[in-house]
Structure 1
Amino acid sequence: MKEENIRVVNRIEDVRNTVKEWKNQGLSVGFVPTMGYLHEGHQSLIKKAYEENDRIVVSIFVNPMQFGPTEDLDTYPRDLERDSKICKDAGANLIFHPEDKEMYKNDFLTFVDVNGLTEGLCAKSRPIHFRGVCTVVTKLLNIVYPDRIYFGQKDAQQLAIIKRMVRDLNIDVEVIGCPIVREEDGLARSSRNIYLSTEEREAATILNKSLSKAKTLIENGEKSSEVIINQIKETINSEPLARIDYVEVVDNLSMEKVKYIEKSVLVATAVYIGKTRLIDNFIY
């Protein structure tokens, strides 16, 4: 039986006690980790978790460990009241909204790294990012102990890393990736879209346009990564407000670059629109 009420808790102990009570009743638990300022993409994850589990936990925690010194930790959008309504409407039962000090003691020393998968793509410009992601997700899994955890495909590298981390560390949870949710004009939903001016918001559609052209190339038989990458770059560079961080074609599991498409690949790009860094991708 589903519950209609939703609680917001700040302490690890309260999450563990609640989940323990659910498990003692034989209920399954789905978990959606977020940094808040939720949008339709997050909402789709919560709804998917609602379909597949008896109880849903959503964490809202802007994890300082995954932000570099020049990144937007202090300005990252936050709105717990708005997020709580979105969580409730999507079917969540519990929101875990801890303070930094609840997650990281002053003498915190332990980190989780996944070597190899964390060296390319977004890791080039955000070198500490995935160590922070892996560490906080491991902590959250140890706090919530869910049956299933849900991530969006927009963060494809993150999803691959989490799947490998869970496998390698024998963590008893099913990792579920969910499709990218897009605006009507194709822009992938992101909490950082709020940073875009009206002009930049229009310019940002170039990401999906470039990937759509690349996908058509592949569907028409193109196997050369170099040709595909050049097509994407040419399209993105036609937009004056866009500045490419990377365009890559990599193996969908290992995240290693491939010269020719012979099995499942991830075609991914990161682009600055003004000062805002956006990512997008597709799997073929």
Structure 2
Amino acid sequence: MKVVKTIKEVRENVNTWKKEGQTVGFVPTMGYLHEGHGSLIKKAREENDKVVVSIFVNPMQFGPTEDLESYPRDLEKDSKFCESLGADLIFNPEPEEMYKDGFSSYVDMSVLTEELCGLSRPVHFRGVCTVVSKLFNIVNPDRAYFGQKDAQQLAIIKHMVQDLNFDIEVIGCPIVREEDGLAKSSRNTYLSAEERKAALILSRTVKLGREMLEAGETDADKIVEAMKKNIETEPLARIDYVKAVDGLTMQQIKKVQKPMLVAMAVYIGKTRLIDNTIWD
């Protein structure tokens, strides 16, 4: 497995593989990899001849008060993890490699980015769409893999690929959880022991919402209110949002329908965590 820092090196490797008729799977990440990322790499390994993983903490998707500088990084550990799962190439550029002096071209989207995380993180999805578009152009993969924990991001990337005619299949992979139910996240490392225990309110609340759906509840507002009340029983939790939205447009809905996304963002102490369930 190779670790490369430049766009030129990525393209040289991928072009060689393509000339040999080999398919390329791509897993874009911000590093500090865990089993959730691992599930994406494994899926890419199963479905493609070659696998590229990008590790890039993208400054464009962080707001001015967010955790860009403190976001966890460990390239050595990530490299061993990727190699153990059969990745062929890691692309680990510096910000200056991705955004040259004078950079002023962005990929923006309306509608899908205006709800959920887009409300409290207004610059986030412009940064995501821009960097993913650049990575798609650099890597030129046949397939790209994203986790369903970031369900809004997955819907946005699929829509962007359709709108901009990328010849790439975008594949969503299920949420990977700890044994006690907490969704795997690089930000879980921020949690103290007390906060880690409190964070279980997210997965318990997702389970509550899922149970109401499976029991036949058709009023989306009732599900959301029950979920909010459940989160409020945890003193360390502070709700950013809990919403039921159309699974394709990300717009709020009143009545249960398919596809539907019930999603939440909750602060446990200072750490913002997300979780969801998809009704499809």
The bucket for the TM-score relative to the shorter chain is: over 0.9
Does the alignment pair 1:251 with 2:246? yes
| 3-state SS, counterpart of residue 175 of structure 1 | strand
- Residue 210 of structure 1 and its aligned partner are, at CA, apart by 0.7
| 3-state SS, counterpart of residue 265 of structure 2 | strand
Does the alignment pair 1:100 with 2:92? no
In structure 2, the partner of 1:91 is: 86
Does the alignment pair 1:278 with 2:278? no
Q: 2:43 aligns with which of 35, 44, 48?
A: 48
Q: 2:105 aligns with which of 110, 113, 117?
A: 110
Q: 2:192 aligns with which of 183, 189, 197?
A: 197
- Identity percentage of aligned residues: 66
Partners of 1:120 and 1:112 lie apart in 2 by 18
In structure 2, the partner of 1:58 is: 53
In structure 1, the partner of 2:201 is: 206
Does the alignment pair 1:132 with 2:106? no
Partners of 1:32 and 1:118 lie apart in 2 by 22
- The TM-score normalised by the length of structure 1 is 0.98
Query: Equivalent residues in 2 for 1:1-284 (5 A)?
Result: 6-284=1-279
1:135-166 Cα deviation digits (max 9, x unpaired)? 00000000000000000000000000000000
Partners of 1:258 and 1:222 lie apart in 2 by 14
| 3-state SS, counterpart of residue 187 of structure 2 | helix
What one-letter code is carried by the residue in structure 2 that aligns with 1:97?
A: N
1:195-214 Cα deviation digits (max 9, x unpaired)? 00000000000001011011
| 3-state SS, counterpart of residue 179 of structure 2 | coil
1:178-233 Cα deviation digits (max 9, x unpaired)? 00000001000000000000000000000010110111111111011110001100
Q: What stretches of structure 1 move > 3 A for 4+ residues in a row?
A: none
| 3-state SS, counterpart of residue 38 of structure 2 | helix
| 3-state SS, counterpart of residue 56 of structure 1 | strand
- Residue 263 of structure 1 and its aligned partner are, at CA, apart by 2.1
Taking only aligned residues, the RMSD between alpha carbons, in angstroms, comes to 0.5
Partners of 2:129 and 2:259 lie apart in 1 by 24
| 3-state SS, counterpart of residue 124 of structure 1 | helix
What one-letter code is carried by the residue in structure 1 that aligns with 2:50?
A: R
Partners of 1:71 and 1:268 lie apart in 2 by 21
- Residue 262 of structure 1 and its aligned partner are, at CA, apart by 2.5
| 3-state SS, counterpart of residue 120 of structure 2 | coil
Partners of 2:258 and 2:235 lie apart in 1 by 34
What one-letter code is carried by the residue in structure 2 that aligns with 1:33?
A: P
- The TM-score normalised by the length of structure 2 is 0.99
Specify every segment of 5 or more residues in structure 2 that has no aligned partner in the other structure, as ranges: none
1:67-112 Cα deviation digits (max 9, x unpaired)? 0000000000000000001100111000000001000011000000
- Residue 264 of structure 1 and its aligned partner are, at CA, apart by 1.4
| 3-state SS, counterpart of residue 32 of structure 2 | coil
